[in-house]
Amino acid sequence: MTRYIRALALSVALSSVAAAQDAPPLDSLVAHAVAVSPIVAAARARADAAAARVAPAGARPDPMLMAGVQNFPLSEPGFADFMTMKMIGVSQTIPFPGKLSRRVSIADEELGAARAAVVGAQRAVARNVRMLYYDLAFATRALDVVTRTQAVVVAMIPVTETRYASGGGSQSEILRLRVETARLAEEGATLVEERRASLAELNALLGRDADAPIDDAAIPFAIVRAAIADSARSLTFESAALGARVRSSPIPPMDSLLALAINNSAELQEHEAMIRAQRARAALARRERLPDVDVSLQYGQRNGFGDMVTAVVSIPIPLQKSRKQDADVSAADADLRALEAEHMASLNELRARLARLTGALERDRTQLALYGRSILPQARASLASANAGYQAGRVEFATLIDAQAILFNYETDYYRALTDFAKTLAELEEQTGRTLIQ
């Protein structure tokens, strides 16, 4: 039991950090997932489609080729009449100045929105890979704790049975150990299934078989150090007040995070491009009130008479202006107002999301500091004291088992807090578009 306590004392300080230093490079998994992701491929295809629409948006309508017969008599069919002619011609619609340039602007901004969507898809895939990898790391570390704890409990069973046979214990102690063994087995089974599920989801993002192994998953060392510094004992709190944060946070201040997010957020960049595109649509809708011009040139050939040339300029008469063009302008303006309102809502949501993520990171740092400075050392000391008291006959067996169970729960909670810190950091880096922990 004493050796078990010493092993637990080193597990939090060394197990996660050492594993993290030896872990396979997470960045390579992220890069592979982005490269093979069908979601990213779909976003890129949409961007390619948007790019292909830019050039056609600025092109004039195709000219129309005309050929036919004019003034063909029905009473005496033929080409003897001086009014009858064979005709060939061409016509071209010329958009009112400014219309084509605005259509190009719309297509350009839609391309910008599509490219921002590609960046957003890449960041979402990277975030999902990191979060699933961290879940995998937690299940692995927590399973190690369960395995070590169960080994100690199982080793205590024959000792307790021997004591019971010699009259130094009770049958309830043996039953309690067996119940604890079964409870740990249930905990282990849950962790194994969680690990299997995380592995399957991660492999799905990587385009691999569900059970393809990823060995030695662990929280990267840089993140562990950002969460607990070199040692949890070196961390200090801002004050002695309840709920005080840990000093020397590695997380940038809120105003810096907000500036990064506003400048780099793929979602906001997509919104802004869509707003600019809609402004161009509104301007185009106003230009649609102005008429396009249709110009045609025709050549007529007459048998026995001189040939003729006809030139025509056509301009539409906007008789339905109030029902068509004006209504289109109103609709475009309303769509623009809606996009601008949605953009403001997204900004407000971004501010709230950053505050929530920052608060969660500081909460996790505080929890980890409390675990490292006091909760885990005291839980280990309590287990050592219970063990010594039990061997001396001063402490009941139930107290010893309870102390062991409490330490097990605290160790698992420590790994959970560290995993939550890493996952929240992945979300924050997705929002800011920057790696915040080097």
Q: What pLDDT was estimated at residue 231?
A: 67
User: What stretch of H or E contains 435?
Assistant: none
Asked if 235 contacts 369 with a C-beta cutoff of 8 angstroms, the reply is yes
Q: What pLDDT was estimated at residue 169?
A: 66
pTM of structure: 0.84
The domains located in the chain, with CATH, are 2-61+100-289+330-432 (1.20.1600.10)
Per-residue pLDDT of the chain (438 residues; tens, 9 = 90+): 444 444 444 444 434 444 444 445 898 999 999 999 999 999 999 999 999 999 999 999 999 999 999 888 887 787 778 888 999 999 999 999 999 999 999 999 999 999 999 999 999 999 999 999 999 999 999 999 998 888 888 887 787 777 777 776 677 777 888 888 888 899 899 999 999 999 999 999 999 999 898 888 889 988 998 888 766 667 777 777 777 778 878 889 999 999 999 999 999 999 999 999 999 999 999 998 889 999 999 999 888 888 899 999 999 888 888 888 899 999 999 999 999 999 999 999 999 999 999 999 999 999 898 888 889 999 999 988 888 887 777 777 788 888 888 888 899 999 999 999 999 999 999 999 999 887
Q: What pLDDT was estimated at residue 74?
A: 82
Q: Is 148 left (phi over 0), alpha (psi -120 to 50) or beta?
A: alpha
Asked if 399 contacts 390 with a C-beta cutoff of 8 angstroms, the reply is yes
Q: What pLDDT was estimated at residue 335?
A: 95
Q: Which two tokens stand for residue 224?
A: 């562990």
CA angle 238, 239, 244 (to 5 degrees): 70
Return d(Cα 396, Cα 287) in angstroms, integer: 89
Which of 1, 2, 14 is CA-nearest to residue 141?
14
363: Cβ contacts below 8 Å, ≥ 6 apart: none
Q: What pLDDT was estimated at residue 322?
A: 82
